[in-house]
Amino acid sequence: MTTLPPDDALAAEAASPLDQKEFVPSGTPQITTQDGQTILPTNQESATPDHYETKAEEAERLAQERLVRGENAVPPSAVTPPANSANPVNSANSAISGRIFARLVRPAFLLLVLSVSVIAAIFLFPGGYSNEKVLDFESGKTLSQISTDLAQQEVIHSSFIFKLVLHAPCLVSFGRYCPEYVLKAGEYRFAPGLSMWEIARQMVRGEVILHQLTVPEGLRVVDVWEIVRNSPYLAGDLPRDLPPEGALLPETYDAERGEQRAVILGRMMAAMARQTSKIWAERDLSIPLRSPLELVTLASIVERETALPEERPRVAAVYLNRLRRSMRLQADPTVVYAIGLANPNKPLRKILFTKDLLKPSPYNTYVNFGLPPGPIANPGVQSLLAVAHPLVSNELYFVANGRGGHNFASNLVDHNRNVAAWKKMQSK
């Protein structure tokens, strides 16, 4: 049975010279018996000095020795250095790399910031031109062509910076964010002192010059046709077929330079259809009209009869009262329109003769009862409203008063008196 030596014996043995003991390689476990003999391990490979143990093996060996002596074992982690311990060589290399990075990148970064600041200042700096500039950019022009045109007209300082800033989001994000800065074609008015940023924003939004096309109330479709045809701002041909009479709403329309004529006419037709539908739905249900077409037809007659807005509901009431009583409308404008249809290449007559009132035509309300087969002009919104909401009255007649308006009467006697007064005024 082997016994462990006391602590004093171990201390004495540790203090003895090396030449008094058998050579034992470092790291070789050994056990001392009661008679002072040392027992070496039988594994010759571990007992030879040619074997060098690792730190993990050394830690394991020391733990076993402490267990043999009855001491608490020290875990290998207590003597094993942490895996993430700093390597002096790697730390030195990192420091050198950091200094090189700072010396090379910092100036480049400062240069980049300075360049961006200069470009931004130029881009936001007001333009140098003092007069208003009007430029027309045709459809299909590229950003480079537009930038060159702007620079040649001295609207912008630099075509290169103009293009660069528009492409900046795409460049900074390395292609991940490339917004479509589409500069819209059209005619632009640039006020003095605009910066390149304001010019780019105006063209991206398409804030072009809008030209006004005015269509007066009471014109025939052929007359509106000529206005659209002769507009210098519009482009394209007119449709081959004319729209129906009364289908175009008289109004002032905004149009871009180069807008198609057919598009403008389409807008006029859509506007008239929208207004007619709305007014018809809100009409006075007591009026003796059966359809929106009849509403437009009577409104066109009212439009041609008077130019005074305040007279329109009163004139409309006269015609509606005559329709209720099955009386001929006897509206002079219907005769003028009938003569115009028979002579399309001649201007409309302004003076009618008695023989004109007797000419047969579906539109002649002197010889036919009821409304004509369709409108005789393109009425405005106010005339449509006047027919839909006429003045409440019992008047059946009216005649010109020579002052731009009319005298109204509810019976034939008063009407003849008004006619005589008008003729007397005409003879002077």
- Span of 84-88, 212-216, 348-352, 356-360 with lowest mean pLDDT: 84-88
Given a contact cutoff of 8 angstroms between Cβ atoms, the answer to whether 418 and 407 are in contact is: yes
Please name each of the domains of the chain with its CATH number: 7-76 (no CATH), 123-205 (3.30.1490.480), 213-274 (no CATH), 288-427 (no CATH)
pLDDT band at 413 (very low <50, low <70, confident <90, very high): very high
How far apart (Å, rounded) are the C-alpha atoms in residues 395 and 315? 9
- Span of 96-110, 274-288, 400-414 with lowest mean pLDDT: 96-110
For residue 251, the model assigns a pLDDT of: 95
Q: Provide the CA 37 distance to its chain's centre, in angstroms.
A: 100
Is 95 exposed, middle or buried (CB count within 10 Å of its CB: 0-12, 13-18, 19+)? exposed
How far apart (Å, rounded) are the C-alpha atoms in residues 226 and 221? 9
Given a contact cutoff of 8 angstroms between Cβ atoms, the answer to whether 298 and 329 are in contact is: no
For residue 3, the model assigns a pLDDT of: 45
Question: Can you give the C-alpha Rg of the chain in angstroms?
Answer: 52
More confident residue, 206 or 379: 379
Question: Helices 261-281 and 221-229, interaxial angle, to 10°?
Answer: 140
For residue 416, the model assigns a pLDDT of: 92
pLDDT band at 223 (very low <50, low <70, confident <90, very high): very high
For residue 82, the model assigns a pLDDT of: 52
Closest by CA to 257, choosing from 299, 182, 206, is 206
Question: Helices 292-305 and 312-324, interaxial angle, to 10°?
Answer: 120
pLDDT band at 88 (very low <50, low <70, confident <90, very high): low
For residue 350, the model assigns a pLDDT of: 76
Residues 371-380: what's their mean pLDDT?
96
Coil/strand/helix, residue 177 = coil
Coil/strand/helix, residue 296 = helix
Segment 292-341, tens digit of pLDDT? 999 999 999 999 999 899 999 999 999 999 999 999 999 999 999 999 88
How far apart (Å, rounded) are the C-alpha atoms in residues 152 and 132? 15
What does the block give as tokens for 49? Answer: 């000095």
| % of the chain exceeding 90 in pLDDT | 43
